[in-house]
Amino acid sequence: MSQETNTEELTILAALDDLERGVDPSEAERPRGDETAETLARLYTEVLGLVPSELDPVAPSAGARDRLLAAIGAAPAVPAAEPRPVPAPAVASAITEASRPAPRIAPGPLPRRHSRWPLALAATLALAFAGAAAWLWLLQQEQRTEIVQLRHELEAQRQLAARVSQDSEQARTEIEKMRSHFALVTSPSVEVRPLRPVGGGQTQARGMLFVAADHQHWYLSVEGLRPPPEGGVYKLWWVTKEGSLDAGSLAAQSGERVQMSSDEMPAGIVDVVLTLERNPSSNRPDGTEVLRTNV
């Protein structure tokens, strides 16, 4: 038994030596049909299978791997590049990138379908703009109409203010005349000359002439005159020694008092006559006498 064991050990050592030298032990020269050689080859294979688990790991010698690969007929592998150390942030970034889901591949372009919503939107916007324009136009027309009305009202107010101012000025003038007439009539030195009807014509007519002391300012008040016929006019005459002078015309109305006044009066008056003239431009009393001072 000891001899067989020594033989097996020697065979194993020889197989290892052949492996070191790059010779396949299974193909080494051995007598054909020798059972011992076959047993040794089988034991060699089994021992080689147990060596990795029974022996401590030992670094192989240089070139052992190449010889082993050459022995089994494989091409020598290219030595892999030594990995470089990666910094911790880079490792974390790589882990994060690895944990991210793979990007989804976008599908290919689909055939474009003609959409109608742009046309609908354009039509809606066009209608909205048209409505807004119409509303703005109507608003502008209303504003123009209101402006025209305001202008008319403003013009009417201006005309009214002008009439009020004119009436106020006229009233102021009338008040001044009334004050002047009142002062003339109530003056102690006033000369009063009544005018009485002549003949049997207008018996209801009456008049009063007030002459100031300077014989320049005078005031005449007549009432009861009938309206003159169409084309006719009442005229007042100053009668002097040289003849009659036109003192002015009266616009008589039925039932109204007629007043006349002036700041001028000729000298040497001997009489005052009121006549009804057919010709308003007559320069001498040719018509019918109605009133006279010296009757």
Average confidence (pLDDT) per 10 residues, the chain, 295 residues: 52 60 52 64 68 62 72 57 51 51 55 72 89 92 93 92 90 86 83 86 86 88 87 89 88 80 87 88 85 78
Tokens 């022996």 belong to 55
Report residue 145 as tokens: 């109409």
Report residue 251 as tokens: 């616009």
Q: How far apart are CA 203 and CA 249, in angstroms?
A: 20
Radius of gyration of the chain (CA): 76
Q: How far apart are CA 185 and CA 219, in angstroms?
A: 8
C-alpha dist (Å) from residue 251 to 196, 223, 258, 276 = 19, 11, 7, 11
- Sequence-ordered alpha helix ranges (H) in 82-199: 88-99, 117-185
Q: How far apart are CA 172 and CA 177, in angstroms?
A: 9
pLDDT, residue 53, reads 60
Asked if 286 and 196 touch (Cβ cutoff 8 Å), the reply is no
Q: How far apart are CA 122 and CA 133, in angstroms?
A: 16
pLDDT, residue 285, reads 87
Q: How far apart are CA 263 and CA 261, in angstroms?
A: 7
pLDDT, residue 162, reads 92
pLDDT, residue 31, reads 47
Q: How far apart are CA 44 and CA 23, in angstroms?
A: 14
Q: How far apart are CA 191 and CA 100, in angstroms?
A: 132
Beta strands in the chain (DSSP E): 191-197, 206-211, 218-223, 233-240, 244-250, 258-262, 269-277, 288-292
Decide: residue 240, CB within 10 A, 0-12 exposed, 13-18 middle, 19+ buried: middle
Q: How far apart are CA 13 and CA 25, in angstroms?
A: 11
Q: How far apart are CA 66 and CA 73, in angstroms?
A: 10
Asked if 275 and 287 touch (Cβ cutoff 8 Å), the reply is yes
- Spell out the residues 6+ positions from residue 18 whose beta carbon is closer than 8 angstroms to its own: 24, 25, 28
- Spell out the residues 6+ positions from residue 267 whose beta carbon is closer than 8 angstroms to its own: 215
Which letter does DSSP use for residue 273 in this model? Answer: E
CB crowding 16-29: b at 16 or more within 10 Å, else e = eebbeeeeebeeee
pTM: 0.44
Which letter does DSSP use for residue 101 in this model? Answer: P
